[in-house]
Amino acid sequence: MEDHPARQPVVAESALIASDVVFGANVVVHERVEIGAGVVIQDNVVLGKQPLLSSRSANRGETPGALTIGEGAQICAGAVVFAGSQIGAGTIIGDQACVRERSVIGEQSVIGRGSGVDNDVVIGDRVSIQSSVYISAGTRIADDVFVGPGAITTNDRLVGPHAGQLVGPQLEAGCRIGAGAIVLPGVKVGEQSVVGAGAVVSGNVAAGTLVVGVPARER
């Protein structure tokens, strides 16, 4: 297919891009983006987008710095990755996924189609986040965690106007969160534990246990 000018990537002058990066059609790369060797950027991706926040937003933080994308990562069609985030080597950001400012995703992890990673999230290595998952601001996810499709983490105890800081959950190494589960603010899900599909987790989950139900209880 013959290239058309409208299909060529739009790349800011300050962007640092390895020589072998592969771009799809209609990609936009904003200022202060660093892309490592062997990265694949598919069609309609936006990299380095600046946040646009309400004056009342609780998600305001430091001004985002550079977006860095590690070697061999793949950013799939229609994904948006904001300024100030870090994407680890070999990680895949799925179609239409969104990674917000100042979030860190480790190596060899997967963010599924249509999933949202909010600002100031930390995700470890080899984490598998399936389709249509929402990871709330401030959530911490350790290595080798699995999060099933449609799962939600939350961070606002007052569900709306609030006086304190937002507090995201902590998902410890190797735990598994079932499809459609909801993990409430500040909850710690222990290592190698399992949260059943559709559970609502309102309290800490001990390492190595299975919890199910609404509210979730050990089984």
- Distance of alpha carbon 58 from alpha carbon 114, whole angstroms: 23
Amino acid occupying residue 61: G
- Rounded to 5°, the CA angle 63-147-64 comes to 5
Please write the tens of the pLDDT for every residue from 55-77: 666 566 668 789 999 999 999 99
Strands (E), 36-159: 40-41, 46-49, 67-69, 74-75, 80-82, 86-87, 92-93, 98-99, 104-105, 110-111, 116-117, 122-123, 128-129, 134-135, 140-141, 146-147, 152-153
What percent of the chain has pLDDT above 90?
83
Residue that has been written with the tokens 């799925």 in this structure = 94
**C-alpha–C-alpha distance, residues 176 and 198, integer Å:** 13
Model pTM score: 0.91
What is the model's pLDDT at position 7? 78
Least confident of 39-53, 109-123, 203-217: 39-53
Burial of 55-65, coded b for 16+ CB within 10 Å and e otherwise, reads: eeeebebeebe
The answer to whether the CB of 189 falls within 8 A of the CB of 179 is no
Instruction: Label residue 1 by pLDDT band (50, 70, 90).
Output: very low
HSE-up of residue 165 (Cα within 13 Å, Cβ side): 9
In the structure encoding, which two tokens stand for residue 172, read together?
């410890």
pLDDT for the residue 162: 56
Answer yes or no: is pLDDT of 27 > 80: yes
